[in-house]
Structure 1
Amino acid sequence: MRALVIEDDPRIASTMAAALAAAGFAVTGETDGEEAWFRGSTEPFDVIVLDLGLPQLDGMTLLKRWRQEGMTRPVIIVTARGHWAERVDGIEAGADDYIVKPFRPEELVARVRAVLRRSSGLASPRIEVGDLVIDTRMQQVLRGGVPLGLTPKEYSLLSYLAHNQGRVVSQLELTEHLYAQDFERDSNSIEVLVGRVRRRVGGQIIKTRRGFGYYVEGPGA
């Protein structure tokens, strides 16, 4: 999944980006509010991590502008402003969560995963797909309690489809959400990746709707 980290402090931005990358996210960074607004409005990020004290356009104004434009993807505010009234303002403006600096990178990752689960209608960090369990905390796919040993990109593919259970996902969407924007992708990279995952987990887990894309069945299907 793709994450946009908007933070003008290089040290903090680097720490957040490294933590999210280690958790399997393709991370893009921005330090300027105006540039961040354009990027967040035009690229398909799954989650946005937003500082409030930004040059050109402050984070609160940026968030309100996105919500007024109808942008619904999860946004987590990360800021040194910790007064309860500021937290309320952030949530009321449309933030899905609010983290006060300083914080542990592990907390950021846990909160990002939580808002993504909620946005997909999932309550548990363990997602069941057929006879598989996807453990989003450990970044593992298990069958009968035994890890299947997927690579990070294979895990990311199956995890993205699981977060969108019951919906057909096109190859273009998968490409946009699994790879950073500047990554040079082969035209059939998703098809190859799907084939590898099917060999690892069994051919019936990921289904194809020809001409449209791939999907995994939702609960009770």
Structure 2
Amino acid sequence: MSTRASIKHRSVEELGGEASVLARQRRDHVDMDQLMARHQALPDGTDREEILQQLIKLVFSHAFAEETVLWPAVRRLVADGEELTAQVENEHQQINDLTTDIERLPPGDPEREDRIRRVFSLIRQDIRDEEDELLPRLLNAVDAAPLRRLGAAWEAVRKSAPTHPHPAVPRRPPGNALLGVPLSGYDRLRDAFGLSTSAAVNRTKAITLTSALLLAVAGIVAARRKRR
């Protein structure tokens, strides 16, 4: 078996066990594939929209955990990790932008359906890039124990991550974490109380602006500390 073989068909033991970040990633990918298949098999209606919303929540919490925990580790541990994670981050940004449009357009709108098809294609491409290229290199670089530690951190972040698109949020720490914390709280309130997309967009803009100011202040403080 090639040292860069996809993790898709590897055993759980080969991936470091059930708690490994690689096993957790793959389980989420399977769930994404199943949700997309169910959505595409159904006619227009409430059930189809509910499945889409389940997918959106899964995709964005999963991606946030990747960008906050997993990709920094890949950049530290994998020789070409910078290039590989940059490619995936670009795919994530495209998914963010398209899903923002999807949430603003009404169900059944032809433009919305076109963006859904494009997002599904990007999600499938993202899964393949991760499972076939990026994650096998991480598997080759570390043992099972670090993979399980990464898995625990990844799961903790995923459970408290934003569940909707926020294109203005940076793709890398510390900016994504600083902006993501208040947005996550609002996203989960939005999910619990069924807030409209327009209200969510306005609140997101306010939170993003406030957090951006905090990020700028943090940068100034860090710069001053370096000069001392």
- TM-score tier by shorter-chain length is under 0.3
TM-score (norm 2): 0.26
TM-score (norm 1): 0.26
Greater share of strand = 1
Question: Higher relative contact order by CA 8 Å / sep ≥ 6: 1 or 2?
Answer: 2
